Amino acid sequence: MTARHANEPQHPDEVLQRLTELFAPVRALVLDFDGLLADSEPFHFKAYNQAFERYGHSLDPEEYWVEFTSRGTGIQGEIERHNLQLPVSPDTLRQEKFEAYSGFCNSGAIPLFPAAQRFLQLAGRHYRLAIASGSWEHDIRAILEHAGAAGQVQTILGKSPGTRQEKPAPDIFLHAAEELGLAPAECLVIEDALKGLAAARGAGMPCLIVRNPLNLKIDFSGTDLVVPNLESVVGFLEHKA
């Protein structure tokens, strides 16, 4: 695990105090989805791996969590790191991955994290909510609908090729602020990945990082605050209520 930084308090009372300070000036929460609200990252891995294994290459899970999930280097990064000579284009691999992953979403196989439902309920009492994700909007909505949470978020933004750049570019966060009718500084980004932190910084938005089992070794020292888990934020919102 990385060394702890001043932005990563561990004592519950300090976590609560720091969350109170961070949330005080904001009017909306701009939320990542995969790995934060939905336990979907294992299914993204499975879908990517299926696509690559069709052509004789298997993904390494540990490398995947860092390169795909947090840094966002994706298919092209995998090809370059391993000097792969594949019979299909990255676009073909990407489409095959999308189709496999959508199948998981539509089947109801992907759950929200146990704390996510409560988080959305509580957060919606005090803040306007937007999801800003690198997944397709229809996949996000399918997961939310299966969880009975589709009506809890006002704005859902997903992948939009040709319209805006993906994280770590700030485009999707700026679009979320525009949809919410707020200035970027009034929106708090809640993320779990380096690419999301970079996007928040580029958008001029404060950023809260939530730890999970997949990002424990990642250094988020450039963010405003790091909390141990989503339950910490739920506890703050319950206290606020």
Give the pLDDT confidence of 55-70 residue by residue, as tens digits. Answer: 999 999 999 999 998 8
Residue 96 pLDDT more than 80? yes
Digit-coded pLDDT (tens) for 118-156: 999 999 999 999 999 999 999 999 999 999 998 999 899
SS3 category, 140: helix
Q: Is the pLDDT of residue 2 over 60?
A: no
Q: At 3, is the pLDDT very low, low, confident or very high (cuts 50, 70, 90)?
A: very low
What strands lie across the sheet with 207-210, from one edge to the other?
Answer: 155-157, 128-132, 28-31, 187-191, 207-210, 225-227
Task: Compute the distance between CA of residue 156 and CA of residue 168 in angstroms, rounded to an integer.
Answer: 18
Name residue, tokens 């929460």.
29
In which residue ranges of the chain is CATH 3.40.50.1000 found? 12-39+112-240
- Give 37-94 as a DSSP string: TB--HHHHHHHHHHHHHTTT----HHHHIIIIIII--HHHHHHHHTT---SS-HHHHH
Measured in whole angstroms, the distance separating CA 3 from the mean position of its chain's CA atoms is: 23
**Alpha carbon distance 62, 79 (integer Å):** 16
- CATH T-level assignment (fold) for domain 41-107: DNA polymerase; domain 1 (1.10.150)
Looking at the domain covering 12-39+112-240, what would its CATH class be? alpha beta
CB 192 within 8 A of CB 218: no
pLDDT surpassing 70 at residue 190: yes
Q: What is the mean pLDDT of residues 194-222?
A: 95
Q: What residues does CATH 1.10.150 cover in the chain? A: 41-107
> What is the model's pTM?
0.90
